[in-house]
Amino acid sequence: MKTVAVVGIQWGDEGKGKIVDLLAHDADIVVRYQGGNNAAHTLVVGGDKFILRLIPSGALLREKVCVLGNGMVVDPVALLGEIDDLKRKGFALNPGRLKISYDAHLVMPYHRAIDRSREAHLGKRAIGTTGFGIGPAYEDKMSRLGLRFDDLVDLNTFTEKLRRNIRDKNAHLRAVLKAKTVPAEPIVAAMRTARRRLLPYLCDTGAFLDDAIRAGQSVLFEGAHGTMLDIDHGTYPYVTSSNCVASAVFAGSGIGPASLDAVLGISKAYTTRVGAGPFPSEMFGTLADSVREEGVEFGSATGRPRRIGWFDAAVARHSVRVNGLWGIAITKLDVLTGIDPLQICVGYDVRGKRYDAMPPGRHMLDRVKPVYEEMPGWRDDLTGARTMNDLPAAARRYLVRLAELTGVRLAMVGVGAARESTIVLANPFHS
Ligand code: IMP
Ligand code: MG
């Protein structure tokens, strides 16, 4: 298969970075198609640690082309910071290797200001956003007030629109959110500099991808966040502001549905989420604390401790359906070592009625009682395993049960942080 999308099937942070990195070796082009720097993929290569928020993981493989698709919202200053950091560490991205869609939207300082003060304003009803202005930037996109990379081409009209937006947003910050306003001149000046540096990267990325696919090149679409954070199919309103499901590949990159060969879903062997909102299989107390420590479950975008829970098969089934998954990769299995017994949430009970996937009407999610199935754990170190046979029988049985419950092929299993600590049962690019 030539074109593959990777999506998170939980609440983000499923360990997509590592799987994308592994698959990027087989791709010519790696594409981000939604979200912004609210995403964060941590990669360790040659002893250096990289946190990529906007630039696809392909940046660390020297011959790959990275694309920021039209569906993204991009903070230009954050993007330049990432480009510079990569360059310092020996991974220069010239315009031949980094293509930014003219149609991607710009995240501006007033978006961040609104995001943060709105969260403060919401008090107990806060979403727990990353505070990077993502929601307000998508709002401007939908209300047709947004600024795009395309607007940068003509500096005068851009500056005019920018000043008008700053004025309007400041009025909102002041009057509605009772918050500090953002000063116009430093933003205008910063954008003038950013513009000069970014113009060479602008590209009709949809046409570029279409040409590449017709020419037989391999393309990897790197999803950000996770299905349960999807604006339509997640736990609204405790979601991010973009579609994170696989169908976002098309609207967010400009290729058609027939051009995508397979979707690989990524799930942890357990579950985490940051921010507020329903989480039926959440666990608490010392067990949750030890999984958090063992799995280093602290947000890479914000440093917040993540909430911890058992694997939830109802969430997984929902995600299999809305993403049309070809297969599933289970990450961080090694984190469960030493926990005995293990629980799997196999469905929900709502006032005596059993649900195997999301109950109709997400309002029910607050009331569901998770139904658990118990499985024996294991004590052996898994990090050296490279085939299923290297795993202790209990770990194998746990994986087989997850695959059974989700109904899709088990394609990969992560057994440690390192790139090589992965069991590959099926690689979509080789199928
Ligand atoms: P926003 O995307 O910053 O608006 O945040 C909305 C919700 O999505 C919050 O609960 C965030 O913690 C969550 N979120 C956004 N991006 C990610 C991610 O990449 N991983 C995990 N959670 C995320
Ligand atoms: Mg992350």
Per residue in 44-98, pLDDT (tens digit) is: 777 788 889 999 988 999 899 999 999 999 999 999 999 999 999 999 999 999 9
Q: The tokens of 36 are what?
A: 């912004």
* Whole-structure pTM value: 0.97
Cα separation, 87 vs 68, in Å, equals 18
Helix (H, G, I), strand (E, B) or coil at 89: coil
Is there an atom of ligand 1 within 6 Å of 10 CB? no
Q: Supply the residue whose CA is at minimum distance from atom 18 of ligand 1.
A: 225
CA of 38 to the centre of ligand 1 (A): 6
pLDDT in tens, 256-281: 999 999 999 999 999 999 989 999 99
Q: Is 13 in the pocket of ligand 1 (CB under 6 A)?
A: yes
Q: Which residue has the tokens 């953002």?
A: 182
Question: At 364, is the pLDDT very low, low, confident or very high (cuts 50, 70, 90)?
Answer: confident
| Residues 204-225: tens digit of each pLDDT | 999 999 999 999 999 999 999 9
Give the residue numbers marked as catalytic: 13, 41
Spatial CA neighbour of 225 closest among 66, 367, 17: 17
Mean pLDDT of the chain: 96
User: 308 CB contacts (<8 Å, ≥6 apart)?
Assistant: 270, 271, 272, 282, 283, 288, 291, 292, 295, 297
Q: What is the pLDDT of residues 38-51, one digit of tens each?
A: 999 887 777 788 88
Contact between 244 and 226 (Cβ < 8 Å) = yes
